[in-house]
Amino acid sequence: MEAELMALIGTGATTVVGLMVTDAWEQVRHRVVGLFASDSDADADSDADGVAGELEESRTALVAAGGTADEEGLRSDLTASVRLRLRRLLEQDPGASEELRRLVDEFAPTARSEPPGSVHNSVTGGRQHGPVVQGHTFTNLTFRTAGGTAQDQAD
């Protein structure tokens, strides 16, 4: 399998599992079900129901594991499972890569120009004679600097 398709599969798996714990899941779930249900020759309706049930079980487990020691392991296992399923799908139906690519382009965090909530800071205005701290909330910060006054440092 081509390296580009393998990268798409990896990104697709990470995207699908990442979306499971977001508000966007309801928006994208039917597309994922349609994609996964297409990798079977079985009855389309019953297969779609089975896929939807599997995805809901996975989502429920992932949400329940949120903030626990099990979360990272479960996320890793789910991502590997989705990756394998996507690989099998694209081997059987190479045309499905277009739908997967559209899904990734629309929902993958790396597909956006910036992650949501990103912050860009810059320090301007000449020399800074001490630490520059940028952030949201700081408490009990203590800085010890060598040297004299600001006038001494300007000379």
Q: Pick the closest to residue 150 from 125, 128, 119 (CA basis).
A: 128
pTM score? 0.66
Supply the pLDDT for residue 112: 44
Question: Above 70 in pLDDT, residue 147?
Answer: no
Supply the pLDDT for residue 11: 93
Q: How many CB atoms lie within 10 A of CB 10?
A: 16
Supply the pLDDT for residue 111: 43
Chain segment 70-113, per-residue pLDDT in tens: 999 999 999 999 999 999 999 999 999 999 999 999 987 654 44
> Helices marked H in the chain — which ranges?
3-19, 25-37, 44-65, 71-92, 96-107, 150-154
